[in-house]
């Protein structure tokens, strides 16, 4: 349904220093870097789906109350790594990795980037069963 998502920034260099390692935990890589934006894509995707940009209207970037981008994580370990990387690279905690009440396999972590944009990494795959 979604073509792409943008997050505003007031400091693109700082945003790249955050997003490069954080999005790598979910399999995304920076594919485009321009003076006013950076674009991220999954392997094999022909276009960037997540963009960090200076606002087009040249005004200060602000966050939306109630706005959040949730990204698919391939495993619970990826959710854990996403959260750890976000904390290491200047993000703030909005909810550590763990199961949430939305359904029995909704494992997520919530963070804010250095500009205050809220992000989530979510794995909805059941935890593999352990055989004794």
Number of domains in the chain: 1
- pLDDT, tens digit, for every residue of 5-39? 999 999 999 999 999 999 999 999 999 999 999 99
Q: Does a structural domain hold residue 60? A: no
Q: Does a structural domain hold residue 12? A: yes
DSSP state of 101: T
Q: Does a structural domain hold residue 72? A: yes
pTM for the full model? 0.92
Q: Does a structural domain hold residue 129? A: no
Q: How many helices (H) and strands (E) does the chain have?
A: 2, 8
Q: Are 4 and 51 in contact (CB under 8 A)?
A: yes
Neighbouring C-beta atoms of residue 92, cutoff 10 Å: 13
Q: Does a structural domain hold residue 77? A: yes
- pLDDT, tens digit, for every residue of 55-68? 999 999 999 889 99
Q: Does a structural domain hold residue 101? A: yes
pLDDT of residue 73: 97
Query: What's the CA gap between 114 and 94, in Å, rounded?
Result: 13
Q: What is the residue range of 45's domain? A: 5-54+68-123
Q: Does a structural domain hold residue 132? A: no
Strands 50-53 and 107-112: unpaired
Q: Does a structural domain hold residue 113? A: yes
CATH code (residue 38): 3.10.180.10
């Amino acid at each position: 349904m979604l073509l792409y998502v943008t997050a505003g920034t007031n400091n693109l260099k700082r945003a790249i220093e955050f997003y490069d390692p954080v999005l790598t935990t979910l399999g995304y890589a920076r594919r485009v870097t321009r003076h006013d934006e950076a674009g991220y894509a999954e392997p094999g995707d022909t276009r960037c789906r997540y963009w960090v940009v200076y606002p087009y209207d040249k005004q200060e970037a602000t966050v939306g109350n109630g706005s959040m981008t949730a990204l698919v994580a391939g495993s619970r370990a990826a959710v854990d790594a996403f959260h750890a990387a976000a904390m290491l690279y200047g993000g703030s905690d909005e909810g550590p990795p763990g199961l949430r009440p939305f359904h029995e396999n909704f494992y997520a972590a919530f963070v804010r980037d250095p500009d205050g944009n809220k992000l989530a990494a979510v794995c909805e795959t059941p935890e593999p069963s352990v055989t004794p």
